[in-house]
Every structure is written in structure tokens, then in C-alpha cells.
Structure 1
Amino acid sequence: MHSTEIHTYLHRFFTENDCEILHGNEHYLTVQLTIDMDKRIMNRPFYWRYIESVNEIPNPAQLTLITDMKQLQNGMKGEVIHLGSPRLHQLFQVTKEMGQFVKLYERVGANNEQQILTPWVGVNYKVSFTSHQTKEILYSIGINLMTGAVVKEFQETIGMRDLSDQSSEQVFHLPFIITPVRALDRLDAVITKVIEGEDLTWVEEAEKRWRKDQAVLDYFYEGQEPKPECYEMEKRAMEERFKPRITVDVVNGGLFYLK
């Protein structure tokens, strides 16, 4: 997930949750949190308990989130956000809690001509490559429910569009040929092929490291038959640490009607 994709995600996340973007550019955002969002992500329950008990005026926090530190100067202070950072992981979790699937419509200009919107399904996947180290990559993929055309980096495609949960007037929504359920099956097949195309040399390296450490363990307990319980425990722990695993999680997704 590139810094521009993360920036787009952050901007949409906060604006859709009614958090005002106070200022920023393509490299950072300063956000005024709502009371609800402060309670969700700032981890200060005692503050809110006190404010509510004495009926004082609340003061939700402001956050400055930096998505490209290299482009910023003058010593700006804030949280650096990247794939794998605790704050971004937290926002992914909040997204799940608040609803993974949305239905949005692109706004159209006010005129007397009927506008046509085409249905798309878009899904953001988080893929974790795990062994003794972990790498996470976010993929955003969309599929046209009329033609079956697939677009990668779909989040960027919709990021600059004006979307609403209410359809505009004088709009005709094309009926989909591919059902959303079938579209999700196709996207799962696409993400599988994308993963297969990734550099998987880390799997060989993890297995090589695993065999090396296993040989050391076997040498240490050589001649002991049967092997003691501590040997089996260390062997299982080694397998848990080095065994390569690829997990795919759906961060969120939606049905989008676009021009």
C-alpha cells in the first residue's frame, strides 16, 4: 500500500465519520476528532468518565497524521502512518467494527438529462506474509458488475470522486449482470493470483532457517531416546515461529454506482 493510498484511505475514513480536516496536503492531515471517534481511538476512558460525571464541555483531540515524512520540512510533529503502524491497524479495526460493507453513489451535476451509473464492487484486502518476520500489503481491487472488468488500486479510483449514501435525482442505475456474491468470488480468485505473483523467496528463506535451527535442536538432544517433553515443546515453538503462512483479511468493501 503506497503512501498516496494510505492518505486517500485516511481522508475518506475521517470525512465519512464527520471528523473535520483542519488542514493538510497530499503528505499529511490534521484532523479534529468527534467525541465518538475520540472515544474509539484515543484510549482515554478516564478523561471521558470525568467529563461526563461533572458535565463539563468536552474537548475532543486533534490528530496530525503524516503519510510521507520525506516530503515534509520545518520539523512538523505528528504520527507517521504506514502499513503496519499501530494507528493504521487501529483504524482498520474501527472500520470493521463500524461496518465492513457500504453502498455509495457518485453524485452527478444538476441538469435535466438523465445520468447513468454503473455498478461496481470494490474490496480492500490485507494480506499478511508471516514466518519469523511479518510483511503486510494492502490490495484494493474493484470489478465492474456489467462487464467483469477488474481494476486494481480501486481505492485510488474512487478516492477523488464525490460519493454519497443517497442517490441523486435523474439517475438511472444499470442493473448488474454479475451478482455481487459472484463478483466477490471473482475478486477472491484475483487476489489469489496476485499473491502467487508476489516474490515468495521469503518462504524458502524461512524454511532454510527453520531446518538450520531444527538441526541445532536435534544435535543438542542427540542420543536421548525417547526425546524429553522440553524437546517437543521447543520443536513446536520453532514450527510456530518459522512455518510460512499467508493470511488474507477483508478490511472493507462496498457496492459503488459510478459514472
Structure 2
Amino acid sequence: MQQAEILDFLTRFFKTSGCTLLPTETGGQLKVKLSEEMDQLLMNRPFYWHYIRQTGGIPETATLLFRTDEKSDDGELIYFGSPRLHQIFEVAKKLAPFVRIYQEPLIHSSPALEPWLCLNMKISDQCDLKRDRIYSVGLQLINGTLVEGFHEILSKLTLSPKAPDYCYTLSPLITVRSGIRRVEKLIESELRCEPSDWSDSAGKRWERDQELLDSFYELETEKPEAYFQEKEALKAQYQPRTVIRLINAGLFYLQSRSFLPDISKGR
């Protein structure tokens, strides 16, 4: 997830959460005045909010300034894997694990909106090292078209939680359950095709440390329990594994022709 994508995600998250976006002095920054709900979820001020409720006072919510430039000192550095971004992901999952959104139709276009299932997932490759990435997939629930990087496409469309006037939605031919299975198969296929350098390197480090462990006990005719415990610890540390977690999902009613040409991947 690139820094520009992070700012785009945060912009959409805070807009839809009822927060107020404020002007910034430079690019690569996002300044936001939190809503009362977001302040309570993000700022960890339970005593302050208890006091406000008891006294009937007027709350003053926090203003946050995020930055993506590591060289700058103005604002809180936000990056993929940062505690703050992880916290926001968790809040997003809690508030809206599944949403229903509509595209504002293009002028003089068909009033029909097609159903798309969007799944945003966090893929974590784990061994003694760890790498995380966001994977976003859209599936059209009529003809089965699959589109990767779907969150980037959605960010360029005019969307609303309310169905637009004079439009109608088409009924899906593919169920959400079946759509999720299709996306799972796509991810499995993509992961199988990825280079194995990362897991191969972990295997070599595992083999090196296993040889070192064996050398400590090479004179032992019968290995003690400690040897087997350390061997299992090495396995837990180095054995490559991939964990996929759903961040959120949504049903989007869109005009496919407004973004489809040359970016779809049929399955």
C-alpha cells in the first residue's frame, strides 16, 4: 500500500465518518477535525468524555494532522504497518464491515446500476520476517468479471450511500457467498504464481539455525527434551505461512462502462 493510497483511504474514511477535512500547507498531508464518535474511538480519552456527559459540557474534539513524508516533522507520520493506521483499520472493520454504496450516474447515461462485490483484504507473509499488503478485488455479480486494485477505481468515482434518483439496480445472478469463493480462488492462484524468493530465504535461515542446533547436541546419543523444544521453536519461527484477513467488504452499484475498458480480468 503506497503512501498516496494511504492518504486516499484516510480521506474517504474520515469523510464518510462525519469528520471535517481541513486545509493543509503542503502536499502529502491530511488534516482532520474529528467527529465526536471518531474522537471517542481513536483518541482514548474515556475520562474526558465521562466528564462531558456528566456536566453536559460542549466537547472539543481533537484535530489530527497526518503526514507521509518521513523527512518532515509536521504531523503524525502514517505508513502501512504504523500503529495509528492499524487502529483505523480496526475501527473501519468495527463500524462498517459491509457497506452498500451507489455510484452517481454519468450524464445522459443508462439509469441501470450493476452490482459489484468489493473485498478488501490484508495479506501477511510471515516467518522470522513479516510483510503485509492490501489486496482489493471487485467482482461483478452479473457476468463474473473480476477486477484487481478495485479500491483505486472506487476512489475515482462519485459514490453515495443513498441510491440516486431516476436510477434502478440490477439483480445479481451470482450470490455473495459464491462471489467470495471466486475471489478466494483468484487470490490462491495469484499467490501460487508469486516468486518463491521470500520463502526460500526463510528456508535457508531455518536450515542454518537447525544445523547450529544439531551441532550443540551432536555428542548426545539420546537427544534431551530441550533439543526437541528448540527444534519446534525454530519451525514456528521460520516456517513460511501466509495469513489472509478480511478488512471490509461492500456491495457497490455501479455503471461498469465508466471504468471497465482494459482493466478487467475475467474468470
| Structure 1 and Structure 2 fold alike (TM over 0.5) | yes
Instruction: State the Cα distance separating 1:52 from its structure 2 match.
Output: 3.6
* Distance in 2, Cα, partners of 1:97 & 1:59: 24
Letter in 2 for 1:130: Q
Q: Which residue pairs with 2:77 in the alignment? A: 80
* Distance in 2, Cα, partners of 1:198 & 1:51: 53
Q: Which residue pairs with 1:137 in the alignment? A: 133
| Matching of residue 28 in structure 1 with residue 29 in structure 2 | yes
| Matching of residue 206 in structure 1 with residue 207 in structure 2 | no
Instruction: State the Cα distance separating 1:15 from its structure 2 match.
Output: 0.9
* Distance in 2, Cα, partners of 1:219 & 1:167: 69
Q: Which residue pairs with 2:171 in the alignment? A: 175
SS in 2 for 1:15: helix
2:102 aligned to which of 99, 102, 105: 105
Q: Which residue pairs with 2:220 in the alignment? A: 224
SS in 1 for 2:44: coil
**Structure 1 unaligned regions, length at least 5:** none
CA, structure 1 residues 63+198, in 2 after alignment: closer, same or farther (shift >3 Å)? farther
Q: Which residue pairs with 1:58 in the alignment? A: 59
Q: Percent identity between the aligned chains?
A: 37
Instruction: State the Cα distance separating 1:228 from its structure 2 match.
Output: 2.4
Preserved CA contact (<8 Å) 1:19 1:34: yes
Instruction: State the Cα distance separating 1:19 from its structure 2 match.
Output: 1.0
Instruction: State the Cα distance separating 1:183 from its structure 2 match.
Output: 1.4
Preserved CA contact (<8 Å) 1:5 1:155: no
Q: What RMSD over aligned residues (CA atoms) do the two structures have, in Å?
A: 2.2
Q: Which residue pairs with 1:155 in the alignment? A: 151
CA, structure 1 residues 50+172, in 2 after alignment: closer, same or farther (shift >3 Å)? closer
CA, structure 1 residues 162+238, in 2 after alignment: closer, same or farther (shift >3 Å)? same
SS in 1 for 2:231: helix
* Distance in 2, Cα, partners of 1:140 & 1:187: 10
Q: Which residue pairs with 1:4 in the alignment? A: 4
- The Cα offsets for residues 192-217 of structure 1, whole Å up to 9 and x where unpaired, read as 22222333211011111011101111
* Distance in 2, Cα, partners of 1:64 & 1:199: 38
Instruction: State the Cα distance separating 1:251 from its structure 2 match.
Output: 0.6
| Matching of residue 253 in structure 1 with residue 254 in structure 2 | no
CA, structure 1 residues 189+163, in 2 after alignment: closer, same or farther (shift >3 Å)? same
CA, structure 1 residues 91+245, in 2 after alignment: closer, same or farther (shift >3 Å)? same
TM-score in terms of structure 1 length: 0.89
Preserved CA contact (<8 Å) 1:129 1:245: yes
SS in 2 for 1:125: strand
Letter in 2 for 1:227: K
Instruction: State the Cα distance separating 1:133 from its structure 2 match.
Output: 0.6
* Distance in 2, Cα, partners of 1:108 & 1:36: 31
Letter in 1 for 2:185: A
Preserved CA contact (<8 Å) 1:114 1:172: no
* Distance in 2, Cα, partners of 1:231 & 1:46: 51
TM-score in terms of structure 2 length: 0.87
Aligned residues: 254
